[in-house]
Amino acid sequence: MAASGPELIDGFGRKIDYVRLSVTDRCDFRCVYCMAEDMTFLPRARVLTLEELALIGRAFTELGVRRIRLTGGEPLVRRDILSLVQQLGRLDGLHELTMTTNGSQLTRYARQIRAAGVKRLNISLDSLDPQRFAALTRRDKLDQVVAGIDAAIEAGFERIKLNAVILNGRNDDEILPLVGFARERGIDISFIEEMPLGAISSHNRSETYCSSDEVQRRIAERYSLLPSAETTGGPSRYFRMADSNSRIGFISPHSHNFCDSCNRVRVTVEGLLLLCLGRENAVDLRALLRRHPGDLERLKATICDALQHKPQRHHFALDDQPQVLRFMNMTGG
Ligand code: SAM
Ligand code: SF4
C-alpha cells in the first residue's frame, strides 16, 4: 500500500484536499450575475504576487492538498500567468491543476497552459445567441469564446466542462441548445444555480432563480439521464446520456446543499483564506506573507490552525439579499 501523506482535516472531520486560488479580480467581461457594470479593481499592491501565489500553492500541497484550481476574475488576463501555471504544474504531490476561464483568451493560451500542466478546464458559456451572450456578459465576444473552446479541444485537455448559469427569463430557453453544443463536441456541461454573492442591480435574483431540478426536468424531456456516481472533486452531481460521452452536471448551492461533503477552501485575490464560500470566516495570508516573506513553515501552521475554524455550512437564501458582499470575481468561482 502506498504510504499516506499528510492530510488537512477540519473541525468537522472533513478532509480538505482541494484549493481554489483566485489569481486576479480583473476580467475582460462583466457578467451580470458576477460583477457590476462599473467595477473598481484592486491596486496592484493589494493583490498577491505570483511568488506569493506559488508559495501558497506549495504550502497547501505539502499539507496534503491534491487539487488546485486557478480562477478569478479571469485568470488568463493576469500578466505572466503562464509562469505561475508552470511553477504549480511542477509541484510534487499535486495530482491535478485545473482552471476556470471565460474562454476569451484560449485561442492564444490553450496549448501553453496544457503543456504547463493544466489537466482539466472549465469554460463558462451561458448563451449561444450573440446578442444574448453580449447582454449577459456585457461584451460582444461569443465568436471569440467558441473559437477558444475549440482551441482547448484541439489542445487535448483530459476533460473540458462548460459552466452555464441559468437565469429564468434570460437564458432558460437555451438549456437544450447548450446541451446539444456540448454533445456535438464530446465535452461536459454543468448547470449552476445563481448564488447571492455581491450586490447587483441588473436583475432580481429571486425572480431569475431557476433550480437545478427544473433544468434537469427540461433536459430529461429530450434525453434520458442516467445518474452517475462519478465526481471530479467539486460540488457537481453528474448524469450520463446513453448515446454520448458528454456528462451533465448540476451545481446546486440552493436546492442541494453540499456542505457536508465540502472538501475545499478558497484563497481570494487579496490572500484571504476563505473557509466557506457563503460565509465571511477568513484568515489573512497576505499579511502573514508580507510580515514573514518566504516563511513556508509559518504559512503551513497558519493554514492548519485556520482549518479548525471552517464553518459547518453556508445558509444561502432566496430573498435576494446578498448574504456575502464580496463579488464572485474577488472570491474566485
Ligand atoms: N472568469 C472565469 C469564468 O467566468 O469562468 C472564472 C471566474 S468566474 C467567477 C467562475 C464561475 O463562477 C463562472 O462559471 C461563473 O459563471 C460563476 N459565477 C459567477 N458569479 C456567480 C454567481 N453569482 N452565482 C453562480 N455562479 C457564478
Ligand atoms: Fe468575468 Fe468570470 Fe465574472 Fe464573467 S463570471 S465577469 S467572466 S470573472
Tell me which of 124-133, 180-189, 289-298, 305-314 is least confident: 305-314
pLDDT in tens, 57-74: 999 999 999 999 999 999
Q: How confident is the model at residue 280 (pLDDT cuts 50, 70, 90)?
A: low
In a domain, 153, yes or no: yes
Domain containing residue 230 = 8-331
Greater model confidence, 144 or 1: 144
What is the distance between the alpha carbons of residues 202 and 320, in angstroms, rounded to a whole number? 12
- The pLDDT tens digits of the residues spanning 200-238 come to 666 777 778 899 999 999 999 999 999 998 876 667 789
What pLDDT score was predicted for residue 233?
67
Categorize the per-residue pLDDT at 2 as very low, low, confident or very high, splitting at 50, 70 and 90. very low
Please indicate, yes or no, if residue 173 is contained in any of the structural domains.
Answer: yes
Note whether 209 and 193 are within 8 A (CB).
Answer: yes
- Give residue-wise pLDDT tens across range 6-40: 788 888 888 999 999 999 999 999 999 999 889 99
Is 66 contained in some domain? yes
For the chain, list the strands marked E by DSSP.
Answer: 18-22, 67-71, 96-101, 118-124, 159-165, 188-192, 225-228, 237-241, 247-251, 264-267, 272-274, 282-284
Phi, psi for residue 34 in degrees, rounded to 5: -115, -40
pLDDT at 323 over 80: no
| Percent of the residues in the chain that have a pLDDT greater than 70, as a whole number | 86
Average pLDDT rounded to a whole number, residues 245-271: 85
CATH classification at residue 25 = 3.20.20.70
Asked if residue 67 belongs to a domain, the reply is yes
Angle between helices 50-62 and 81-89 (to 10 degrees): 20
Mean pLDDT, rounded, for 303-309: 89
Ligand nearest to the CA of 72: 1
Asked, for residue 1, whether it belongs to a domain, the answer is no
Find all residues with CB under 8 Å of 57, minimum gap 6, and list them: 19, 21, 68, 87, 88, 91, 94
Pocket of ligand 2 (CB under 6 A): 27, 29-31, 34-35, 72-74, 102, 124, 328-329
pTM (predicted TM-score)? 0.91
- Ligand 1 and 100: CB distance under 6 A: yes
Please report the pLDDT score of residue 262 as a whole number: 82
Q: 162-171: per-residue pLDDT in tens? A: 999 999 999 9
- Number of domains observed in the structure of the chain: 1
Least confident of 199-213, 238-252, 274-288: 199-213
Taking the centre of ligand 2 as the mean of its atom positions, its distance from the CA of residue 34, in whole angstroms, is 6
Report how far ligand 1's centroid is from the alpha carbon of 40 (Å).
18
Does the pLDDT value for residue 122 go beyond 90? yes
Confidence at residue 253, expressed as pLDDT on a 0 to 100 scale: 74
Strand 264-267 and strand 18-22: the pairing is: parallel
Lowest mean pLDDT among 133-147, 229-243, 303-317: 303-317
Q: What is the pLDDT of residues 144-168, one digit of tens each?
A: 999 999 999 999 999 999 999 999 9
Closest ligand 1 atom to residue 126 Cα is 16
Q: Say what the pLDDT of residue 79 is.
A: 92
Q: Decide: helix, strand or coil at residue 103.
A: coil
Q: Which atom of ligand 2 is nearest to the CA of 328?
A: 3
Instruction: Examine the pLDDT at 308 and tell me if it is beyond 70.
Output: yes
- Closest residue by Cα to atom 8, ligand 2, is 73
In the predicted structure, residue 139 carries a pLDDT above the cut 80: yes
What pLDDT band is residue 96 in, cutting at 50, 70 and 90? very high
- The rounded Å distance from CA 293 to ligand 1 centre is 31
Report whether pLDDT(1) > 50. no
> Has residue 279 been placed in a domain?
yes
Model confidence at 199, in pLDDT bands (50, 70, 90)?
low
Would you say residue 181 lies in a domain? Answer: yes
Asked if residue 142 belongs to a domain, the reply is yes
Q: Is the CB of 33 under 6 A from ligand 1?
A: yes
Amino acid sitting at position 325? L
Quick one: pLDDT at residue 69? 97
Give the C-alpha separation, 253 to 248, whole Å: 16
Task: Calculate helix-pair angle for 130-137, 142-155, nearest 10 degrees.
Answer: 90
197 lines ligand 1 (CB under 6 A): yes
